Structure 1
């Protein structure tokens, strides 16, 4: 329907979850089906976008349809479609509370609706009948919270294959790992061309009364800055004990992943490939962030050390994008979320075996960000810069100590691979900040001074 594709052409580029911003569209097509014919009607559409650069993406767009405009849904309005002299009004169904219940009803029943298949987990309660409230902070995906019981994550960009978030949570549920939110079910959709189904959504137990790791860490940094003459270990909001427990939780998850999913020894070819990819990303990043050039020699030397490494590394499934925003602290400990890896990477790459050091490096970078982000808006203050470094070092060390105590392995020793992962992450951060928050660029650049230029 051309009227609908015209709506999508206007509406999709404005959405936070759309990953093709800045790319010119060559064509757009869609196919859809009805998921629920109640009031409002709920339809689901696969929107295929072809770009002028030759790339293509497929996005999932659920719509709710109403005969009259709903004033309270103005922010969710997609557009009007004329049919037989009347207009029907389309809304983003994930923001239309009255159209959110069918997802859980079909999951509880294990339904198949058109090309979509709902698979409940073997255990766990799915709260049928509850409406869902949207989580406004989401970016690449869209999530709905159903009361205090469950959370549904909709994967907006469709790719063939089982999403690693579903795969890893299903594996960890078998281990009864206490540091995850149990999987309650997932949804897949058949490929129109007969290929592998794509993962549409997953449902997990909602972690109620939990605190976001990033907010807790940055609150600790604010407490430190408010005390002009105290060290990080003397402030009431010291975060180090939490960092130590987070390290232990991360080690526990890594150990269980290695127990129930495949592992293999890293080969020399793997080290060489990792080093080459890091070097290529550095070359590309320097074109965007010329300030990186002053660290290039140190980074290339570090990457060369990785290529020549004889370090013993066992590759396994890992989180893939671990940072303080991906963890929740409850009254009993830490919960780790979002095992889908970096959404911008192809799904097949995110399912490959990797090393736990990538997750460790991601968390170490996150401690640096938590410590330094408040310096961005401040004039240069040597004392605060010292205190930020002290906080980051204290919490990095505590995380590593907790990991080591739980696993018997020291993840933060003199490993060129760990330093290289940190550096590679900081290079990525430089590109991101240059494009999105130029005033934050100082954070990864200062970190690279420490990582790349260390003797």
Structure 2
């Protein structure tokens, strides 16, 4: 009976990855009582012949307070079953478990050596996330609970603990984690880090700058507008270079030989072909993209590769009162764990951030009814803002020790256009009115 109740509830959750497809079967692979009234479940969900596993913290109460009615899963007799992540009285147990390195029924709760965890902090669920659940404990910690489980150590846990051991700047201090064994492999269930209570999201700051520019008089340039973001882009570029340096010091590095670079360009080309077949608007830009890929094939030296962020954009960085902090080193969502940990050129991260500047500059044009009517008039201002902040970011990246040679510039352009090709397909499938944003990437522009 619990299987059926969980299946009906999970299908409605934002973090469930199988929406739109019927659940053929749900089974409970693991059921551990952590403390009276709190159970940890790992459930297997079968859909169309494939299996995914999710973790659920199941609360049990004889009566349920109003503050938890929204988290109710079902009632079984006189027992209320609910999603316990919303229950601060229960979630203190996780904080205490990490603080004291407790083990319960195969769940291992650990803290980072040398740190002290304040177990008096009470939890609150952040409401913005889609694929995971984050608990904020007071103003001290944020604990990311991975809902969909993938066997293996999460890349973010690997990266932040390695960088913290080097006292690297520009990261949020890790405090602890929870793990278990899945398919014979140590698997990360949750990560707890410093909560940046006074920080601002990079995407929000960039959009505020764009709004200021749009609201200013037509003769006001991006450099003269009140919310000019270029100085922040410069600092962010420098911080990015430092993070790449620390990653290269903390993890193995390698080089991609010339013949492998050609194979990389071939892969870009294959993805372009599939994209053009799906989105005809791309066809007029094929020669531009092909020229960029051909420049990569002319590369005459090896390309250094290392661990990188892998999904780098303005939404992954926070501005504290003193500097930029980089978050979410998990890699690109949906990719296999091995690919997310694979070595790559740091220019891949640089390209991701450049694309993010383009999105920030144009995001308001299709998304706001008031601004949409002025989109054609505002497009040159969007281009000016994007070019200014892209240039500042690249300047900061080089000043911070990042390397972009003439050959690197060709590779960077190829990474960026390959990302834009992906974005065109994504927007065509999900937000057709936004397709003009990635299509703008194929116009001639300064690097």
Q: TM-score, normalised by structure 2?
A: 0.93
Shift in CA distance, 221/353, structure 1 to aligned 2, threshold 3 Å: same
Q: Does the Cα contact within 8 Å between 2:123 and 2:138 map onto a contact in 1?
A: yes
Matches within 5 A, 1:382-421: 382-407=376-401, 409-410=403-404, 415-421=409-415
Instruction: Say whether residues 1:73 and 2:68 are aligned partners.
Output: yes
Matches within 5 A, 1:158-307: 158-191=149-182, 193=183, 195-228=184-217, 229-307=219-297
CA distance in 1, matches of 2:351, 2:306: 16
Return 293-302 or 10-19, whichever deviates more.
293-302
Displacement after TM superposition at 1:380 (Å): 4.7
CA distance in 2, matches of 1:340, 1:408: 22
Displacement after TM superposition at 1:21 (Å): 2.4
- Cα root mean square deviation, aligned: 2.1
Q: Deviations over 1:188-215 (max 9, x none)?
A: 1112x4x212110111111121111011
Pick one of 98, 105, 122 that aligns with 1:114.
105
Corresponding residue number in structure 2 for 1:447: 441
Corresponding residue number in structure 1 for 2:130: 139
Corresponding residue number in structure 2 for 1:12: 10
Runs ≥4 residues deviating over 6 A: 411-414
Q: Does the Cα contact within 8 Å between 1:36 and 1:42 map onto a contact in 2?
A: yes
Corresponding residue number in structure 2 for 1:434: 428
Structure 1 residue ranges without an equivalent (≥5): none
Q: Does the Cα contact within 8 Å between 1:401 and 1:410 map onto a contact in 2?
A: no
Shift in CA distance, 248/185, structure 1 to aligned 2, threshold 3 Å: same
Corresponding residue number in structure 2 for 1:44: 40
Pick one of 397, 419, 427 that aligns with 1:425.
419
Q: Does the Cα contact within 8 Å between 1:400 and 1:412 map onto a contact in 2?
A: no
Shift in CA distance, 95/281, structure 1 to aligned 2, threshold 3 Å: farther
CA distance in 2, matches of 1:361, 1:248: 15
Q: Does the Cα contact within 8 Å between 1:123 and 1:184 map onto a contact in 2?
A: no
Return 413-422 or 148-157, whichever deviates more.
413-422
Q: TM-score, normalised by structure 1?
A: 0.92
Q: Does the Cα contact within 8 Å between 1:141 and 1:156 map onto a contact in 2?
A: yes
Displacement after TM superposition at 1:299 (Å): 2.3
Return 211-220 or 70-79, whichever deviates more.
70-79
Displacement after TM superposition at 1:450 (Å): 4.3
